[in-house]
Structure 1
Amino acid sequence: MLNHINYIIISSVLFFLSVLGIFLNQRNILVMLMALEMMFLAVSLNLVSASIYLDDVAGQVLSLLILTVAAAESSIGLAILVVYYRIRNSISVELMNLTKG
């Protein structure tokens, strides 16, 4: 069974992989959204593991709040992405500055 330190290591690796995914892939907005969701999940895993280690429910409640906000963010982001694809026929980030106004 994994102890608390292993959960923190797994959470940190997931977080830094998602940060790396956002910074290295700045062309495809869908991959950036998936990396952002992975970042939310890494933070949530860290909160749950700390909550179990400290025997406190506050971390688990905060984790549920983070997951709820992440689900709302992803649904709104994907809806905007679908509308953008219908207008431009591309989901490239380079053309995003043309939609100002």
Structure 2
Amino acid sequence: MIIFISGIRGILLNRRNILVMSMSIESMLLAVNSNFLVFSVSSDDTMGQSFALSVPTVAAAESAIGLAIFIITFRVWGLLL
């Protein structure tokens, strides 16, 4: 819960810095993923483990979209070849 709250805090306090917002979203996904695994083990159910396998897919898609936004922004500004 502490990792998730720190991710929310990072988003709310740093709205102008996209890199910090992306890292905050990644930490929130990490917190949710660890909660899925802990509750799955404690309840003897494999559903949480299967959800935990799908969370990195969402994180990878979010990182790819963020990288694409950075590249397009730098091309528009003329800073990237």
TM over 0.5: yes
Aligned residues: 79
1:65 aligns with 2:54: yes
Cα root mean square deviation, aligned: 1.5
1:37 aligns with 2:37: no
Runs of 4+ displaced beyond 6 Å: none
Moved more, 52-61 or 81-90: 81-90
> What is the aligned partner in structure 1 of residue 44 from structure 2?
55
* Greater RCO, CA 8 A, separation 6+: 1
Deviation at 1:88, TM superposition (A): 3.0
1:36 is aligned with what amino acid?
I
- Aligned counterparts of 1:62 and 1:25: Cα–Cα separation in 2: 29
Percent identity, aligned pairs only, is: 47
Q: Which runs of 5+ in 2 are unaligned?
A: none
Q: Which runs of 5+ in 1 are unaligned?
A: 1-11, 91-101
TM-score if structure 2 supplies the norm length? 0.88
1:76 aligns with 2:75: no
The higher radius of gyration belongs to: 1
Q: 1:23 to 1:89 in 2, by over 3 A?
A: farther
